[in-house]
Amino acid sequence: MAWSDEQKQAFELNRLSWDERVEAHWESDMYRRHAADLRDGRPCLAEHIVRDVGDVAGKTLAHLQCHMGMETLSWALLGANVAGLDFSQPAIEKAELLRRELKLDAHFVCENVYNAPEALGRTFDIVFISVGAVCWLPDIDRWAQVVGSLLEPGGRLYMNEAHPFADVFDDHPDEPGIVVTYPYLDRGGLVFDSPGTYADLDAQFQHTKTVDHMHTIGSILNALICAGLVIDHFEESARCVWPRFKVMQQNGPDDWSLPGPVLNKLPNMYTLMAHKGG
Ligand SMILES: C[S@@+](CC[C@H](N)C(=O)[O-])C[C@H]1O[C@@H](n2cnc3c(N)ncnc32)[C@H](O)[C@@H]1O
């Protein structure tokens, strides 16, 4: 099925925004710290992710929407045979730069995630997806079909993603807290015009407009089930790896939470593990 002109424009708006953010991300404290981990021979992945995914040595792993490839290269460091895909050419160039510097084996491809099966041209033991990926995608059912077709029978999907429920909130300019602002159910693509970026809140950009497609937990689970995946584990967490709201308090590197009365009371992220049925 072809994309509508509106959907094509949304991809283009988002791609321009991501392309422009790459340099600021590369120079940001957060990604410098992740690159430094890799240079020191440590994966820049949270411990729970490494533990949940388990031994990847000798396994094939596709990382969808891999950005500058730091997590992809972490899996390579842990012995996986990895491919990373992202539609931002500058992001893929940074991934390649780091891959060459670290002398790691990884295959990076610049392509829209919906074209991943053709662009990667093979199937994998593991598909890995991490924070900030599915909100950019207009069609969650089609995305799940992509995931399904990339997996070997019995192959596993691991997602550590931003929880869509928290997307109902926004910072309020006049109130010292977050306020219910957006719908959770029945929400199509929303255009946002936001300054800065999660890795550098003060950075200035020309391309500030993006189209964000929030997908409910139910729609993600159903899409994966319809694509032939069996859900093995689903877990929600209050922890957040970036300052999603201005009111968040920082507890440590890549560790933020909502303060005060809502501390540990609202989901910010989720982990989903599934496998492709035989
Ligand atoms: C929030 S970043 C992922 C960050 C990553 N988890 C990390 O920690 O570095 C989202 C990525 O999705 C990519 N992206 C957005 N829409 C895409 C699409 N339709 N196809 C491929 N990549 C896309 C962007 O270029 C960006 O690199």
Task: Return the residue whose CA atom lies nearest to atom 14 of ligand 1.
Answer: 65
Q: In this predicted model, what pLDDT tens digit does every residue of 194-235 receive, in sequence order?
A: 878 887 778 888 888 999 999 999 999 999 999 999 999 999
Third-level CATH fold of 5-276: Rossmann fold (3.40.50)
**Res 260: pLDDT:** 78
Pocket test for ligand 1, best of 12, 13, 14, 18 (most atoms within 8 A of CB): 18
Q: Is 147's pLDDT higher than 90?
A: yes
Q: Which DSSP state fits 128?
A: E
CB 116 within 8 A of CB 151: no
Q: Give CA–CA dist 82/73, Å, rounded.
A: 8
**Res 216: pLDDT:** 96
Q: Is 249's pLDDT higher than 80?
A: yes
Q: Is 130's pLDDT higher than 90?
A: yes
Q: Give CA–CA dist 181/245, Å, rounded.
A: 13
What is the 139 CA–ligand 1 centroid distance (Å)?
15
Q: In this predicted model, what pLDDT tens digit does every residue of 45-54 receive, in sequence order?
A: 999 999 999 9
132 contacts: CB under 8 Å, gap ≥ 6: 65, 161, 162, 198
DSSP-based three-state secondary structure for 250: strand
CB 61 within 8 A of CB 83: yes
| The length of the chain, given as a count of residues | 278
Q: Please state, rounded to an integer, the average pLDDT across all residues of the chain.
A: 94
What is the 174 CA–ligand 1 centroid distance (Å)?
32
Q: In this predicted model, what pLDDT tens digit does every residue of 224-244 receive, in sequence order?
A: 999 999 999 999 999 999 998
What is the 260 CA–ligand 1 centroid distance (Å)?
32
CB 250 within 8 A of CB 265: no
Q: Find, among 31, 267, 18, 53, the residue nearest to 162 by Cα.
A: 267
**Res 203: pLDDT:** 82
Q: Find, among 69, 49, 253, 238, the residue nearest to 156 by Cα.
A: 49
**Res 67: pLDDT:** 98
What is the value of pTM for the model shown?
Answer: 0.96
CB 126 within 8 A of CB 99: no
CB 226 within 8 A of CB 220: no
What is the 20 CA–ligand 1 centroid distance (Å)?
13
Q: Give CA–CA dist 101/36, Å, rounded.
A: 12
Pocket test for ligand 1, best of 136, 143, 160, 240 (most atoms within 8 A of CB): 136
Phi and psi at residue 137, to the nearest 5°: -110, 125
**Res 178: pLDDT:** 87
Residue 216, ligand 1, Cβ within 6 A: no
Task: Return the residue whose CA atom lies nearest to atom 13 of ligand 1.
Answer: 65
